[in-house]
């Protein structure tokens, strides 16, 4: 076991969303997060969430939140819950997002290395479709989220850059034709691999993730006015530095495994 004190799990994300929205979780999924469910009970009683914005920044570690807390101001001030979450091993992108959206551990969803096969297990997206909901994934071409959830009867927008993803996300939110909007931004991860986790360049990308989450959240609030809604800031794993001023992740260490998830519920 790693030296982590996190008792909440990334595998709880899928069932948290399905419980909030009132449909069956993917088969075998971990249980919903009790704190988010308690908040929903206070906010909505038995009524269910009608719209969800799920923002997936890549590699935003818990330690970044602890050390650069002020940079998270746009996230903290616009959400209601900041929850310590334990990721899964190996702590690399396709493994972690597969666990987040299937609710399964890696040995059960089958992605146990940096490979991007299309998942055959049930995911949040399959569960949503079964329940008559309309999900969309907006992500950069070729990245994990763009690959492993393919071949569902749902909408996808694959873009060249995170900025382009966010532009499309604004348009999709404004149209309000989807119940679940997933947006992936891998810019911090890309940069920290090249120049280190705390390089000026990487920190700029972290600031972008915070600002862009706030921008998308405000767009959702405007487009979804009057509806019961949720938004969440959901990274996949953390990161640490290695020799040569480079960043990395994938190990069973707190820097890679401990992440923070933010949630907001509103009407």
Interface with Zn ion (CB under 5 A): 58-59, 93, 236
Phi, psi of 115 (to 5 degrees): -135, 155
- Nearest approach in angstroms of CB 228 to Zn ion is 30
Minimum gap (Å) between residue 92 Cβ and Zn ion = 6
- In the complex with Zn ion, the residue whose CB is nearer, 30 or 143, is 143
Q: CB nearer to Zn ion: give 126 or 236.
A: 236
Let me know: does 235 contact 54? Beta carbons within 8 Å.
Answer: no
Residue with the CB atom nearest Zn ion in the bound state:
93
Who's near 147: CB < 8 A, 6+ residues apart?
A: 94, 116, 117, 118
Q: What's the min distance (Å) between Cβ of 58 and Zn ion?
A: 4
The residue among 179 and 236 lying less far from Zn ion, judged by its C-beta, is: 236
* Smallest separation, CB 229 to Zn ion (Å): 26
What are the tokens at 90? Answer: 């190996």
CB atoms within 10 A of CB 84: 15
Assess contact for 20 and 230: CB atoms under 8 A: yes
Tell me whether residue 25 or residue 186 sits nearer to Zn ion (CB atom).
Answer: 186
Q: Are 91 and 15 in contact (CB under 8 A)?
A: no
Q: C-beta of 263: minimal distance to Zn ion in Å?
A: 20
CB of 214 to Zn ion, least distance (A): 21
For 5, the token pair is: 């004190």
Q: Rounded to whole angstroms, how far apart are CA atoms 231 and 197?
A: 26
State the CB neighbour count (10 A cutoff) for residue 150.
15
Nearer to Zn ion, 58 or 126 (CB): 58
Bridge partners (DSSP) listed for residue 231: 53, 264
Instruction: Compare residues 50 and 255 and give the one whose CB is closer to Zn ion.
Output: 255
């Amino acid at each position: 076991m790693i030296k982590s004190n996190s008792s909440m799990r990334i595998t709880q994300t899928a069932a948290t969303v399905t419980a909030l929205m009132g449909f069956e979780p993917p088969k075998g999924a971990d249980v919903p997060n009790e704190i988010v469910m308690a908040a929903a009970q206070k906010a909505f009683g038995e009524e269910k969430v009608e719209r969800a914005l799920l923002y997936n920044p890549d590699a935003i570690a818990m330690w970044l939140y602890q050390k650069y807390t002020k940079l998270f101001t746009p996230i903290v001030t616009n959400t209601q819950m900041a929850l310590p979450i334990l990721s899964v091993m190996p702590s690399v992108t396709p493994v972690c997002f597969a666990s987040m959206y299937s609710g399964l551990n890696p040995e059960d969803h089958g992605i146990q290395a940096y490979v991007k096969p299309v998942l055959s297990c049930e995911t949040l997206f399959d569960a949503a479709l079964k329940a008559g909901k309309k999900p969309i994934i907006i992500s950069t071409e070729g990245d994990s989220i763009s690959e492993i959830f393919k071949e569902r009867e749902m909408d996808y927008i694959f873009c060249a850059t995170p900025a382009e993803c966010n532009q499309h996300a604004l348009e999709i939110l404004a149209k309000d034709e989807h119940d679940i909007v997933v947006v992936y931004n891998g810019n911090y991860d890309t940069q920290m691999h090249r120049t280190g986790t705390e390089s000026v360049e990487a920190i700029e990308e972290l600031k972008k993730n915070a600002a862009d989450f706030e921008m998308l959240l405000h767009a959702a609030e405007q487009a979804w006015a009057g509806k019961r809604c949720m938004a969440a800031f959901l990274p996949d794993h953390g990161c640490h530095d290695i020799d040569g001023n480079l960043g990395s992740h994938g190990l069973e260490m707190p820097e890679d495994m401990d992440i923070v998830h933010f949630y907001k519920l509103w009407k």
